[in-house]
Structure formats: structure tokens, C-alpha cells
Structure 1
């Protein structure tokens, strides 16, 4: 079995069609992107015992909220610790492990629902499923970068766009299955978890079987690598452990964390925010449409911005993210006070497109700075910035708003301070990006080290 998963077994021939790799990546990312749709389970999980309405013995919404939070935390942790393992064993074994964790997490959670044991959902979807999220997220990325050295941004955008679009599949599928399995004695959630666990496991296994890595020294037909290194784009490699000793890694960590924190500031409270900032003018149905629009821009931005970065350069793309984002965040309170709904929605949509674009552009930025050999592992460690932002963003929005409302500030104005803080975070990210330079010569691997490592790996 170990030979089946080995790098040698999945090394493609020189005539292999590289366009078969993005569908394999999407087969994984469209599944794990279901995490963005987990909220559809929140309310039904509060009435597992009562079915039609919650009983005192049912789980509270605050209790259920920890399931998603745990999943995001373990996404970052598993990506950080599993990234180095990915570089050693290759993408097939890693993607198969992700399928077992993510699909198995659903099955274990279904058992937890059946037994009404919340700790099984924490362990199933939160811990084990979260590990599947992290391993599944990073495993195709380095492979795509190696198959598309001529268009790194577009390659990573194709996969990570799938993660952003996973909710567009997961949400209606979940609702449809819960409706199908609903009865007088069941909300249908337990059966839905079981079915989705099997479906997602199957799709992710298919992706793992289809994945291939390019042969040594492979390059696309008709493409000639630049004879001279472009500024901020290296042809050499930095070892995964050595990358942590460079200031560039920590600047990129801050760049991702600040961009994601600001994006989550809108994404996490979009429906409530627009209804309170335009009181009486936005219905709950219209707010739901606003959330859907933001999801589309989040998904589309992952492909459009990362593809554009192939032409503009990664550093320039992030300059645009932070400069334009700072301006738009600072203008949102003005659009609200003026009652200009159209400009408010347009600004929020652009902000969310750059939030998604930040996710998909960062792997290519890492490959430019540290080389392609260990980019999967380095990317995994950088994703701890996502875990941090996943806590920091909602805390900033929720607690500052709650404090202001408690001190007499009108709900329509309670987001103003938060939005200005988000603008300041993006301005800080602009400075971090400004400080980015090429890695110092001492951090690069020697040619003999690269060769020896290839033999050992």
C-alpha cells in the first residue's frame, strides 16, 4: 500500500496533460469548502431532541458555535504541522488522509448526534474534520504551483476558488438532505451528516487518485524559464525550517492575518450589519441576498486577483489590496450615514473579493520568495495566520459593537469604530508589504543540498 501512495507511483510522464491536475484539486477543495456553509446546521442542531422546537435538554447555540471554531483552529494547526509531512510523502497520501479525516469527522459527528453527545461533534467535525480541512487545503497547492511555473497565481486561484465555492454546493445540499430526512422524530441532521461524510470521502479519494506530480526538471511545452531572476521572484529554494528564520515569513504571516481579519470583519456579520446600518430599508431576505453576493465575490476574487498577480506581481497586488481596502473600509460609515445602499454594497463586494484574493495569492507569493520545493509546507505553517484571524476578526466586531451599544451608541452607528479599526489594520498590512524584500543569500539551499534532499525525500 505504501508503494501505491509513493511519490514515484504518482510521478507523471513527460507527455502528461497538466490540465488534468486542477480538477483533482477541485475535487478536494469543493468538499472541504463546505466549512463555510456549516451555519446551516446551527439552528437544527439546537432541537435534536425536541425536533420541532428546542427542549431545555437540547444544545444551546453558543455550545454549537464551538464546533466551527474548533474546525478552523485545527485547520491551521494541521496545515502547520502536516505541511512538512506533505513535502515528504507527496500529495496523494496527504489528500487521502484528508479524505479519511474529513469524511470520518462527519460520520463520527453523526454518531454524536444520534447519542446526543456534543463532545463527539467537537472531536468529529471540530478536531478530526478540522485536520482534514488543513491537510486537504494545502495538499494540492504546491503540486499546482509545480505544474504551472509560468502562471503560479492562476494555478493556486483555480484550487482555492473551489474552497470559496464549496459553500455554494454544501449549503443547498445540506438543506435538501435535511428536508429529505426530516420526520416527526428526526430533524434529519444525523442522516445528513452520514450521507455527506460518504459523499465527501468519495469525492476526495477520487481527487487523491487523480493527482500527479511533474517529473524532475519538467517544464511546460514552449515555456522557457527566465534566464535572470525577476525582482522578488527566486529560482532557488529555502528549506521549510529555514524559512521560519527569515523576516519575510513573519511579514507574510502578518500580511495574510491582517487581510483576513479585515475581510472576516464584514463576512462574519454581513447580514446583521447591513440591516442595522440601514434600519428599516433592508429586509432579512435582502440581507440574505447581500450575503450571497459577498460569497460570489469572495469566490470570484480568488481566481481573478491571483490570476492578475501573474501580470502585476504579487507585491503590487497586495499593495492594491491594502490601499484600496483601507480607503473602502474608511468610506463604509460615510455610505451608511448618507443612506447610499448601492455604494455600500459595491464597496463591501470589492473588499470581499480582495479577502478571497488574499487567500489565493499568498501561495504564489510564498513560491516567489522561498522557491517552489517546500512551498506546500511553508504555506501550511503560514495558515496559522488564518486561525488567528478567525478568532481576532469576530472578536473585534462583536465585542466592540456590544460595548458601544451597551454605552448608548445607536446600532446603526455601532460599527463605525470597528470599520475604522479594520481600515487601520489594512494600513498596517500596507506597511508590512512595503517592507518585503528578497530573502538574504544565507538562507538559500545550496545545489548539492537540493539534490541530496530530493534523494532522501
Structure 2
């Protein structure tokens, strides 16, 4: 297959297939209830620790993957990620009910596999689509969001794999599928020819546009880490990730408890109310959150190509903060709960279209794989703080008998998102490399070369 004749849309297809499998981490909530029951008997917090270890490992290994992309062909790196991810889930089958075993296999090994493969489609895609970075990143990671729907559908009450085969057998079947699908998708993970420019696109005209805020500069990771813009992006992404990951990790636990009051008030007995609440929360997670998560990646990417990344980030984060602040009360009604879950999923999905595109805008396309890997470490912080905070207060709410304990994590996430929206509103492009060098020369204590003898 020649790079010069391959349609760039094959890259999108390969990216979606790969990300469908990587998105299994967002389906974790479908396993949490079964893991709190016999024969596992895990505490809610323990189920969230497995999830958080996977998220943190995912984020850390993403940095390694970004650095490897200049040394290993992207096709091989994506395939390696699929094999490691599959191996994590396959070996989880042999761990039985061991809590430590699941932390190791699902958390560490599975998270590492996701991290190895995740930025490959983004980095390859941005090179093939420099004219549509928002759309491309949205499409490339849409599979990650829709993947949650697929795996929840198969494992949950729709496909019934957990009920029919058990948690461990479901892990095994998932692992085998991951190896096959990622292997197929990796076929198209190849970079375009050197100097590739899409037909009809003028790079010089794009530099002056509203989207190309970085002015076409290509910064290395070392240079990027010396800019204030990197740390602004990092904090913003951590906040957006924390809110969404908190809901992903605990929506089934929180929703099942919150909606009990509604269904009991509707006259259902306890058994019927419990079943109805569980079914509603699974619907909210499997359909409303998951579909909106995938759509948000595409829609926010398209919006950002029109109004710019800065405005899109500010609006998205502010909206997420408002929904998180009111989520406890919105969850009192089944219909409104589903709408709120969809809004959170929609905004959460937007993170994964806007932040890689913003990284490319600010720091250039050439090193976007390595640079976005560093930005993505903030996702690891959000993945630790969000789910564990939600799980801890979920246990506290159960032990104290007061559901209002859930307000603390939701308000925390809301405040973080609103702060991030302010940071987005004041985000500016980094200084040009020549300007930075000039400032370095003028900095006190910096040696200045004497003028040339021949200088006029």
C-alpha cells in the first residue's frame, strides 16, 4: 500500500477500530456492581481503585508512546498496544476473584496497552488532515467514546455476557476481541509522504486563520514544557477529565441509590424500585452518556474548526461545570438524569477532540504525538482524583445513610471546570521561537557575544 496513493480516510477507519477497543476503560461501570457482590465482594472504593490505576497507567504510558513514535513505525506501536491491552484482559481471567490480580491485569497491563496505542491515530491523523484538525481528532477518538457503548451493551443487561458467563469469562472474551480488532485497524496507521499537503489547502493562508493559533511553529517537548501555555492546557484537561471520569466511575452506584427515592415514591416495592433504578442508570450510562460521549468528540471538533479552539474550550468547560454543580438534583428524576448524563458525556467527549487539536495549534503538527503525550498526563491526575473521590464519598453516603455526601465530589468537579473555563478564556499562543531567543539574550546574566569586527 503506497503512502502516496492511499486515501486519507482509511486512516480514520483504522483509528475508529483501534479506539473502539481502547474505549473499554469507559465501560468499567458495567463491572462495578458485579464486583461488589459475591464471589468478589469488593468495596466501592476498591472497584474505583482498579479503574483509577488503569487511567493513571494509561496517561503515563501515553508519554512513552509519544516518544516512541519517532523511533517505531506507528503501525507497529498501535499493534503492540492492542496486544498488551488484550493480554491484560486475557490474564485477568486467570486471576479469579483476586483484587490485587485485577489491579495488576486490568489496571496496570490493560492501562499500559491503551496508553501505547492511544496517540498513534491522533498523531498520524493530524499529519494526514492538517486542514481539518478539529474534525479529524474528533473522528479519530469518537470510537473511544462509542466503544464504551459497545462493551457495556455486550457485558450488561443487553448482551448479558456478565450474567451468562461471569465477570472473568467476559474479561477473556474481551481480550481476544481487542487483539483482533486493533491488529486490523493498525494496518492503516502509516504517516503521509514527507511534505504532504491535502489538495486545495493553502498552509500559508491557514496560518492567519482563527484556528491556527500557533502560527505554524513546531516546538519540541522540551521547548513546550518551558511555556506557560502547556501548564494552562494541563490544568484545564485535568479538570475536564476529573469531572467526566468521576461520573463514569460512579454513575451506576450513585444513580441506583439516588433514583430509589423516586421509584419508591411512585409506589413500587423495594425489590421493584431497586431493579428499576438499576435499569435506568444502566440506560443512562450505556446509551445517553456513551453515545453523547462519542458525538461530543465529533461535534466539538467541528465547532472548534469554526469558532476556534479557545472559545470552544471555554464554553465546553463552563457548561460542564454548571451541569456538575446541579447533577445531584438533576438525578432525582429518571428522565432528567438521562439528559444530565448525556450532557456530561457530550462535554467530556469534547476534551479528546479539543485538547489534541489545541496542542497541535499551539505547538505544531510535527511533534504532536510526543507533545500531546505530555499534555495527556493531566488525564492521569483526573483519573485518580475523580473516581476515587466519588467512590470514597459513595461509601461514606452508604455508611452514613445520607446521599447528600455525594455533593462534595460533584461540587469539587464543578469548581475545577469553572476555573478551567477561565484559563481557557485567557489562553494565548506561545511566543515565537525568535522572540523567545531574543528574551533569553536580554535576560540578566546571559552572556552576550561581542559584535563582529566587520560590523558596520
Range of TM-score over shorter length: 0.7 to 0.9
Shift of 1:196: 2.8
Give the aligned partner of residue 16 of structure 1. 6
Query: Partners of 1:215 and 1:268 in 2: how far apart?
Result: 42
Query: Partners of 1:278 and 1:406 in 2: how far apart?
Result: 18
Query: Partners of 1:163 and 1:432 in 2: how far apart?
Result: 26
Report matched runs for 1:377-392 at 5 Å: 377-392=370-385
187, 190, 208: which one pairs with 1:209?
187
SS of 1:194 mapped into structure 2 = helix
SS of 1:264 mapped into structure 2 = helix
1:275–1:126 Cα change, 3 Å: closer
Q: Are the counterparts in 2 of residues 181 and 192 from structure 1 also a CA contact under 8 Å?
A: no
Report matched runs for 1:74-85 at 5 Å: 74-85=57-68
SS of 2:94 mapped into structure 1 = helix
Q: Cα deviations across residues 126-161 of structure 1 (Å, max 9, x unaligned)?
A: 222211111111111011111111111111111211
170, 175, 179: which one pairs with 2:151?
170
Q: Are the counterparts in 1 of residues 12 and 140 from structure 2 also a CA contact under 8 Å?
A: yes
SS of 2:234 mapped into structure 1 = helix
Give the aligned partner of residue 200 of structure 2. 222
288, 296, 311: which one pairs with 2:282?
288
Q: Cα deviations across residues 266-317 of structure 1 (Å, max 9, x unaligned)?
A: 3333334445545532531223222231222122111111121111111010
Give the aligned partner of residue 349 of structure 1. 342
SS of 1:150 mapped into structure 2 = coil
Query: Partners of 1:96 and 1:216 in 2: how far apart?
Result: 23
Q: Are the counterparts in 2 of residues 239 and 444 from structure 1 also a CA contact under 8 Å?
A: no
Give the aligned partner of residue 428 of structure 1. 419
1:301–1:38 Cα change, 3 Å: same
Q: Are the counterparts in 1 of residues 59 and 377 from structure 2 also a CA contact under 8 Å?
A: yes
1:433–1:46 Cα change, 3 Å: closer
1:194–1:438 Cα change, 3 Å: same
Give the aligned partner of residue 304 of structure 2. 309
Q: Are the counterparts in 2 of residues 11 and 212 from structure 1 also a CA contact under 8 Å?
A: no
1:407–1:271 Cα change, 3 Å: closer
Query: Partners of 2:201 and 2:118 in 1: how far apart?
Result: 28
Give the aligned partner of residue 141 of structure 2. 160
Query: Partners of 1:404 and 1:40 in 2: how far apart?
Result: 21
Give the aligned partner of residue 134 of structure 1. 115
Structure 2 stretches of 5 or more lacking a match? 264-275, 438-456
1:445–1:364 Cα change, 3 Å: farther
Give the aligned partner of residue 272 of structure 2. none
Query: Partners of 1:200 and 1:236 in 2: how far apart?
Result: 37
Give the aligned partner of residue 28 of structure 1. 18
Q: Are the counterparts in 1 of residues 55 and 384 from structure 2 also a CA contact under 8 Å?
A: no
1:210–1:141 Cα change, 3 Å: same
Query: Partners of 1:442 and 1:36 in 2: how far apart?
Result: 39
Q: Alignment RMSD, CA only?
A: 3.0
SS of 1:214 mapped into structure 2 = coil
Query: Partners of 2:15 and 2:255 in 1: how far apart?
Result: 35
Aligned residues: 417
Query: Partners of 1:445 and 1:144 in 2: how far apart?
Result: 30
1:263–1:66 Cα change, 3 Å: closer
Query: Partners of 2:143 and 2:378 in 1: how far apart?
Result: 20
* TM-score relative to the length of structure 1: 0.81
Give the aligned partner of residue 6 of structure 1. none
User: Is 1:249 aligned to 2:230, yes or no?
Assistant: yes
Shift of 1:169: 1.9
1:403–1:112 Cα change, 3 Å: closer
Give the aligned partner of residue 364 of structure 2. 371
SS of 2:201 mapped into structure 1 = coil
Q: Are the counterparts in 2 of residues 76 and 383 from structure 1 also a CA contact under 8 Å?
A: yes
SS of 1:322 mapped into structure 2 = helix
User: Is 1:125 aligned to 2:106, yes or no?
Assistant: yes
Query: Partners of 1:427 and 1:165 in 2: how far apart?
Result: 27
1:353–1:224 Cα change, 3 Å: same
1:445–1:375 Cα change, 3 Å: farther
Give the aligned partner of residue 324 of structure 1. 319
1:259–1:96 Cα change, 3 Å: same
Return 140-149 or 232-241, whichever deviates more: 232-241
